[in-house]
Amino acid sequence: MEVFFQTLVGGLGFGAVYALVAMGFSIVYRTMGLVNFAHGQVVMIGAYAASTFYMTAHVPFFISIPVAMVVTGLIGLVIERVLRPLENKDFDLMLIGTIGFGMVLESLATIIWGATGHAVPSPVDTEPLDVFGIRIRTYSIVVLAVAALATVALVLFLQRTKRGAAMQAVAMDHEAATAVGIHVGRSNAVAFAIGAGLAALAGALVAPMLYVNPTLGGSLGIKGFAAAILGGFGNIPGAVVGGLAIGVLDSYAAGRFQAYSELVVFLVFTVIIMIKPTGLFGERTVNRA
Amino acid sequence: MRLRVGGFAVAAVAAWFLPYGLDLYGIHVIDIAIVFALLAVGLGLAMGVAGQINLAQVAFFGVSSYAVAILTTRAGFGFWTAAVLALLAATLVGVLVGIPALRMQSHYLGIVTLGLALAFTNWVTNSTVTGGADGISGIPVPPLFGIDLSSEYLYYYLELVVFGLALAFAGFVAHTGLGRRMRAMRDDSLAAGAVGAPVPILRMTAFVLASLYGGVAGVLYAGLIRYVAPETFSIANMFLLLAMVIIGGRQSILGCVVGAVALALLREALVDFSVYAQLGFGIVVVLMVVFAPTGLAGIPARLRRLVRRRRTSDHRATLRPFRPEPAGGPDRVGASLEISGISKQFRGLRALDDVSMSVAPGEIRGVVGPNGSGKTTLFNIVTGIYGVSSGSASVDGRVVTGRRPHQLSQLGLARTFQNLRLFGQMTVRDNVLVALDRSSMLAVWRYLLWPVGIWRAERDLRARADDLLERFGLTDFAEAAPTSLPYGIQRRLEIARAMATQPRLLLLDEPAAGLNGQEVGQLGEIVRAIRADGVTVVLIEHNMGLVMSLCDRVTVLASGGVIADGTPAEVAVRPEVIEAYLGDSMNTADIAAEVESEAVR
Amino acid sequence: MPRTATARLLLCATALAVATAGACSAPGSDSSSQESSDGPFKIAVVNAQSGQLSSLGQWEWKGAKLAADEWNAKGGIDGRTIELELFDDQGDPTVGTNIARKLSSEGFVAMIGTAESAVTVAMIPILRQAKIPNITSGQSPAIAEAGSPYAFYNGPTSNTYDESLARYLVDDKGHRKIALISNNGSYGKGERDAFTSALADRGITPVDDQVVTTDQKDFSAALTSIRQKAPDVLFVGAEEVAAGLIVKQARELGITATIAGAAPMGTPVYLETAGVTNAEGTVVSSPYLSNDTDEASRAFAEAYQRAHGEEAEMHGAKAYDGANIVFTALESSNGAGGAELAEAIRGTEYDGLLGDFDFDESGVGIHETSIGVITAGKLTAEPAS
């Protein structure tokens, strides 16, 4: 029982990070139908940007996050701008293009920060809470809270603001949206920037939990992508649920199958997706039939 | 063609004498490059030719390498026995990885195949039979009639022969019926199904081919390095392989080879700057994707097109008139279509509600109705793209609902699409060839055992394709890309393609949309000739003039139900039809008069 | 048409026959690189310079470079200078085999590296064929199992590390409730096997034995299971970063057991990743505890600091020792490479930073490690019992 709950708590802590990564995937996908395979690497750059700023400029951790978000947001804009000629033409090519961007970002990180990486001291340095023998890291609570805030903010943005409404319209029918005077390119750029910003948030939050090095993005990206698909690609609440689900699945698989956990996680994922290809909550995407 | 043969001959001779100019290091690098080239050819077949995103190619490679290692070192098999079993194992894994492709495509397939590749690495890192993270060493040198294959020079010749055969086979597959069907599926899987290409089997075939090449590469790798470890089959190498295929040109087998060899050599040359090499590969991939999506292999064609555009503005290709000569025998009669009580539900939206109609053999039937009345949905159900919620459709008494599009095509059903679904990256002739090819997928065994049979059938098909293009007046455009042609020609090509399947029932979805007056007239002639040829025709059309003049009977749909059925003249005067179709804002008397005059004409 | 086809066929056949005849005189038979008897000695350092294990690779390069610079400053070996060249294997066995071929073609006499067992094992057959002695910093038994007389370890194997550790923990301190957590990489697997057998020799079965993957991030399940067993000692078999993450999470989950492990746990990367408070009290088995154990290590650390502007650590010291052994052997073989050099290495008794090297049949030179404990962020030696 204790193992059960402790595993759940551990899984949720990382699940919140996967949820943020998955949201980044989804916001881009629902708006422009593009899967950004470089997203994991953007997360990694975000982690580097935030932690470098935090550790060298000695500013509070939660101030370094917005800085990192600006950095990755700009990277997002660059990726979107470069791949724009392919938009609504060939999605497979765009996908491969983003893989190319991933390679570029990873090697750039190696060139800038070196291959070795660094550990990041936890910004919240208090003893873990002890609830009936279940230890809960205070930092995990912070991560969960930030992830929840980010979700709410994103949903409010999409539903309550003009720009958000425009993006919803583009997501539903970009031709009709163009017809009523919405600038589709700008919507896509904003979506890409938001996605990249979310990546930085995820990267910054995960930095003190892990060790920051250029290969950090790979597995975070793949698991985050799997989470987005599991929840229903392009679906924001789905991304959150999918992220938490992947985190928890990962933890339980590690407990039950030990070193074979990765094998089990991906087989389970494949089976779920084959049974329900649109994910748990249904796909939301541009209409491009 | 002769140029190409000559090129191959020169390349073969050069390859034969290459080792004489290389030291041991050089030949080793070349040996490795050939392994990568084999992998790239497999990936090119799956991704470039068949359009299946496959990020598990390294896993196929790994399965076969590991199988050789395990069978030779642990089970005591001889190298070549192990090699054959390893190929089988790789192919089996290919089938398993291909199964998800039946349910999902594009990025979904990307993440699933990537996940399965990770699962494979995870398994080999853990299992004791694979030696865990330490891998398996001590794979024996492959014996070959006393030739000492531990010499990497002699191993090179083994690889060269295998590679030559593999390359020839890949080229043969890509340029004959199987490859053409796969390319059709890549360009438009719905249309491919509609002209009789068995899409699910083709997807599996793509993965089987990829895994076969991965398997061959794995066997050669095991025999060359004689050691396997999980790191060789990492995701980083998968992405490198992807870069090879994209940079070389995924749709061209030779392009994949060029990309693989170039990158393998470049990676070796830049081994002291590996980070910068990776940066460079990434940048080149991005640039290629944006500016040269067909890769290095596509550059000559692009240049040629550029030159031609500048030069040949005087020679004009023209659309010749349609030649209405019966192709089928005079005794051919079209099929009947019986639709009874079909309903179709989309997430709470009722698109069709208890629709019934019956079309007699040899009839031309019009289906009209306002936008959103369910006409295209009905077509999609009859041609097997959608399932039904209830009810059934049958052609000549055989139930067609619940069957797949390609099976229906074999039963004699053909269709065109509302917004044109041509195979955009294939020539006009290939578009027709795909549809002419009625061979069953069971016949693919001939690729392995009787290629001559394939070659003969191919020659025969080409002759028939030329006849068909001639008949539809499209001969001048045989080599053109369909998307470069005027809209009217594309419409006619789509009908030609549908007719190439030798249907007995033809469904045309708004064939006159976007055509000018003259073209509409020609369309009418074509449809009548098709009917005269022994084909029943059902057409959805908004051009009332055409419907009234062409159709024997007309069925009117409105909001998912049939509201009228009868001869054009009968239907046109019914008030409910006029109301549904035009709303009550128009003067119904005017319309009736116009309709009558059309009918007289 | 048929006639031209036949002609073409004939032509092809002729071409093929000519080519086959040509091939009979097998190419590349003069390939074996001749060693020059003057000019510099070419020694290769092969290590990953990118990817996960690149920090090891960089430390090793610095250690070996320092040794070579010192020898060259003294006038080289018999008046010939040492030319050290760095190769990046990218942690990929295939790339490793390419490099091995390159070394043999370009006349390298010896190789130092790699830090990754899989890459080393892939290279061994080629190095053996080319008669290039190789001192690896890997510690997997797979290297010895390859059975090449040209392969040597520049440090102890996992068996040595863990035997010393078990002796300290069980025999000296009397701990009997011991739990294991290791990852499934080459290093972690070797550690797990070695420590388990060292415990078995003492009649102890671990109270828990958890295996995790190399890129696992959350260890809650494994660690909670361990916590329930309330062990006195938690043995961690993983590389620097992974060990740091495991220990950090273990402490956060309230595991108070003594943490123990081999060399990686003595590195600054481990200390940083786990955090100084969490790493406090970690018992480390290592042949090179600190830069302050004796005169030699102090001198090395000072020179290293001067040359590379950073603090020395164990991997640099290992490579430094390995390089020195190769150079000494080259001197005693009078500059001969190949089998003679390998024999010379085997015969070299060298008093190094890691201890007294004395190579046995399997190529292992160090048979002893020391025990240290992390106190206040510093690894300090435990007095030998």
Contact A35 B116 (CB under 8 A): no
Residue B446 within any structural domain of the chain = no
Q: Report the b/e string of A184-201 with b at 16+ CB within 10 A.
A: beebbbbbbbbbbbbbbb
Contact B285 A102 (CB under 8 A): no
Which H helix or E strand runs over A212? Answer: strand A211-212
Q: How many CA atoms lie within 13 A of B436 on its CB side?
A: 22
Q: Is the dihedral of CA B142, B145, B150, B155 positive or negative?
A: negative
Tally of domains within chain B: 2
Cα nearest neighbour of C226 on chain A: A3
Contact A96 B278 (CB under 8 A): no
* CATH number of the domain enclosing B263: 1.10.3470
Q: Sort strands C82-88 and C41-47 into parallel, antiparallel or unpaired.
A: parallel
With vertex at residue C77, the alpha carbon angle to CA C74 and CA C79, rounded to the nearest 5 degrees, is 80
Q: Do C207 and C229 meet the contact criterion of CB atoms below 8 Å apart? A: yes
Contact B134 C117 (CB under 8 A): yes
Backbone angles phi, psi at B562, to 5 degrees: -85, 125
Specify the pLDDT at position C150: 92
Tally of domains within chain A: 1
* Residues facing C261 on adjacent strands: C284
Looking at the complex, report in whole angstroms how far the Cα of residue A196 sits from the nearest Cα belonging to chain C: 22
| CB proximity A89 to B under 8 Å | no
Contact B23 C185 (CB under 8 A): no
Q: What is the CATH number of domain C41-156+294-367?
A: 3.40.50.2300
Q: Which of C49, C221, C228 sits opposite A254 (nearest CB)?
A: C221
Contact B25 C106 (CB under 8 A): yes
Contact B133 C189 (CB under 8 A): yes
Domain range for A163: 20-214
Cα nearest neighbour of C57 on chain A: A116
My answer on whether B282 and B345 are in the same domain is no
Chains that touch A (3 or more CB pairs under 8 A): B, C
Contact C97 B231 (CB under 8 A): no
Looking at the complex, report in whole angstroms how far the Cα of residue A93 sits from the nearest Cα belonging to chain B: 6
Specify the pLDDT at position B581: 65
List, for residues B388-445, the tens digit of each pLDDT value.
Answer: 888 888 888 888 888 888 888 888 899 999 888 999 889 999 999 999 888 877 777 7
**Which one of B128, B273, B286 would you mutate to disrupt binding with A, by most A Cβ within 10 Å of its Cβ?**
B286
| CB proximity B282 to A under 8 Å | yes
My answer on whether B253 and B385 are in the same domain is no
**Which one of A270, A275, A285 would you mutate to disrupt binding with B, by most B Cβ within 10 Å of its Cβ?**
A270
Cβ contacts (< 8 Å) between A110 and chain B: which residues? 275
Model confidence at C202, pLDDT cuts 50, 70, 90, reads very high
Percent of all residues in chain B with a pLDDT value above 70, rounded to a whole number: 93
Contact B53 A95 (CB under 8 A): yes
Residue B468 within any structural domain of the chain = no
Residue B324 within any structural domain of the chain = no
Cα nearest neighbour of C104 on chain B: B25
For C28, C77, C98, C132, the CA distances from C33, given in Å and listed in that order, are 11, 21, 16, 11
Residues 6+ apart with CB under 8 A from C119: B231, C46, C48, C89, C91, C92, C93, C95, C96
**C71 pLDDT above the threshold of 80:** yes
Number of A/C CB contacts below 8 angstroms equals: 100
Q: Which of B100, B114, B279 sits opposite A104 (nearest CB)?
A: B279
Q: Is the dihedral of CA A122, A125, A129, A135 positive or negative?
A: positive
Cα nearest neighbour of A18 on chain C: C217
The average pLDDT across B341-361 equals: 84
**C21 pLDDT above the threshold of 50:** no
**B300 pLDDT above the threshold of 70:** yes
Specify the pLDDT at position C384: 60
Q: Which of A210, A252, A256 sits opposite C217 (nearest CB)?
A: A210
Q: How far apart are CA C19 and CA A182, in angstroms?
A: 68
List, for residues B135-177, the tens digit of each pLDDT value.
Answer: 888 888 888 887 888 888 889 999 999 999 999 999 999 988 8
Q: How many CA atoms lie within 13 A of B293 on its CB side?
A: 15
Q: Where are the domains of chain C?
A: 41-156+294-367, 159-286
Domain range for B163: 9-270+277-302
Percent of all residues in chain B with a pLDDT value above 90, rounded to a whole number: 25
* CATH number of the domain enclosing B377: 3.40.50.300
**B315 pLDDT above the threshold of 90:** no
| CB proximity B248 to A under 8 Å | no
Regions in chain A scoring below 50 on pLDDT:
285-289
Rounded to a whole number, what is the distance in angstroms from the first to the last CA of chain A? 49
Structure tokens, A163: 């720009």
| CB proximity B112 to A under 8 Å | yes
Q: Do B431 and B518 meet the contact criterion of CB atoms below 8 Å apart? A: no
Model confidence at B326, pLDDT cuts 50, 70, 90, reads low
Contact B225 C27 (CB under 8 A): no
Cβ contacts (< 8 Å) between C241 and chain A: which residues? 117, 119, 211, 213
Looking at the complex, report in whole angstroms how far the Cα of residue C98 sits from the nearest Cα belonging to chain A: 22
Q: Which of A100, A101, A269 sits opposite B115 (nearest CB)?
A: A269
Structure tokens, B71: 């069978």
| CB proximity B281 to A under 8 Å | yes
Q: What is the mean pLDDT of chain B?
A: 85
Cβ contacts (< 8 Å) between C228 and chain A: which residues? 2-3
**B266 pLDDT above the threshold of 60:** yes
Specify the pLDDT at position B330: 55
**C30 pLDDT above the threshold of 60:** no
Specify the pLDDT at position A234: 80
| CB proximity A95 to B under 8 Å | yes
| CB proximity A85 to B under 8 Å | yes
Contact A274 B246 (CB under 8 A): no
Chain A segment 11-30 residues within 8 A of B by beta carbon are none
The average pLDDT across B281-288 equals: 89
Structure tokens, C107: 């006349």
Specify the pLDDT at position B133: 82
In which residue are the tokens 């059975």 written? Answer: C147
Cβ contacts (< 8 Å) between C104 and chain B: which residues? 24-25
Q: Report the CATH fold assignment for C159-286.
A: Rossmann fold (3.40.50)
Chains that touch B (3 or more CB pairs under 8 A): A, C
Looking at the complex, report in whole angstroms how far the Cα of residue B8 sits from the nearest Cα belonging to chain C: 11
Model confidence at B71, pLDDT cuts 50, 70, 90, reads very high
B205-214, B461-470, C47-56, C257-266: least confidently modelled range: C47-56
Residue A289 within any structural domain of the chain = no
Residue A119 within any structural domain of the chain = yes
Which H helix or E strand runs over C40? Answer: none
Specify the pLDDT at position B316: 61
